[in-house]
Structure formats: C-alpha cells, structure tokens
Amino acid sequence: MFATCRRAVSRNAYSLSLGLAALALGGAAMTPASVSASVSAPVAGSAAPAQAVAWPWPQPSDIAYLPGYLDLQAAPSGAWRDSRLEVTLPRAGTYALDLDVRSRLSGLTPVNSFIVARLWNVTDGTSVPDSERLLNQIIDLGGTGGRLIGQNTTVPISERITVKEPTTIRLQARRDNTAGASNTAGIISDLQGRTSFRYVRIS
C-alpha cells in the first residue's frame, strides 16, 4: 500500500513540475497541440514515436430525389423507361451507389405483373452491370376473377462503379405482364416515401 502511495505522489509531483516548467518558460499554459508535440518528440536512443493518422479530405458525394412520378403504365409491357432521377459522378474514380426505389403496382385478377429497375450509364450508353432489381410483383391466377390487388414497395439498389471521366448514371424501370395486365404501375416519390439516389467516391 505504501509503495502504491509513493508512486501516485511521484506521478503528481512529476505532473506539477512539468506545469511549473511550462509557466517558467514563458508564462503561457501549453496547448494540447504543444503537449502532443512535446510528448511525440523522439528522445536520443529511443524508438521513433508512432505517426499520427492523416485523414483524407472529404470525397465527392451527393444525393438526389425523383422529382414526381414515373408512369410505367403508359409504356408497353417490357419497355424500359427513363426516369428523371440521375446523378453525375464528378471525376474519375470508384463510387458507391445507393438508391431507395419506391414503386406502386396494381391489377385485376387473374394477373401476374412485375416491375424491374436498373441503373443506366448515360455517358457510355450501357446498363450498369448487375444493377437490375425486382421492385414489385402482384400474382393471383386463381380464385375470383376481376378482384383488384396491388401494393407499394420500397427496394434498395447498392452498386459500385469505376469511371474514367465525369459520368451520369440514371434510374430506369419497366413493367412486365406475364398474365393479365396491370392497371397501375409506376415509380413514386412523395411525402409517404421518397425515391432517392446517393453516391460517394470511395477511391
């Protein structure tokens, strides 16, 4: 117990002597930065101190929202439609893309109808590989005919893309009828749920 007390007193005395020495050198209290610099300074014959981690500058990022409603019912079954939701990746690099896509689909039984979305590289004129997602499906091929069924859904799309120049990426969608037909199909963004598109450069 006495040994523990002596160590505590020694530490306190050492801390006090450091504080008095700092005041004696100029009368100004040492800032955290100056303390860090003093502690980090290597002592002759000792190992070099660990280097501080250098944080990178913030990378380009942004988020956009679908302005209004994309009506898929107005297009033939199986036809891709451009939405007005797109982002422009500002420079070369690798980007993480994240979307939340809300859809609405309904039809009269018997029916089997679904909505698919994908990302379209406007700059290259090609689809982003593996970006297709099934957003919504209604299916009822039995029971009473002429019954209305439908639903709203929100589905994420997460992809990674590497570009060599500023590149625009757009959300596209289509509806498909394999039995019967939908009577409402579209991509929505309103107060009940937004359709959004976010990107961040990761390298």
Q: Phi and psi (nearest 5°) for 181?
A: -160, 150
- Mean pLDDT, the chain, whole residue set: 82
Residue 29 confidence (pLDDT) above 50: no
Tell me the percentage of the chain whose pLDDT exceeds 90.
69
Domain membership of residue 49 (yes or no) is no
In this structure, are 17 and 72 located in the same domain?
A: no
In this structure, are 23 and 116 located in the same domain?
A: no
Give the pLDDT confidence score for residue 22 in this predicted structure: 40
Give the Cβ contact number of residue 43 at 10 Å.
Answer: 7
In this structure, are 24 and 111 located in the same domain?
A: no
Q: Are 181 and 111 in contact (CB under 8 A)?
A: yes
| 46-67: average pLDDT | 72
Global pTM value: 0.72
In this structure, are 89 and 166 located in the same domain?
A: yes
Domain membership of residue 43 (yes or no) is no
| 184-190: average pLDDT | 98
125 is in which domain, residue-wise?
Answer: 61-201
Q: Phi and psi (nearest 5°) for 100?
A: -120, 120
Overall number of domains in the chain? 2
Reported as a single tens digit per residue, the pLDDT across 116-128 is 999 999 999 999 9
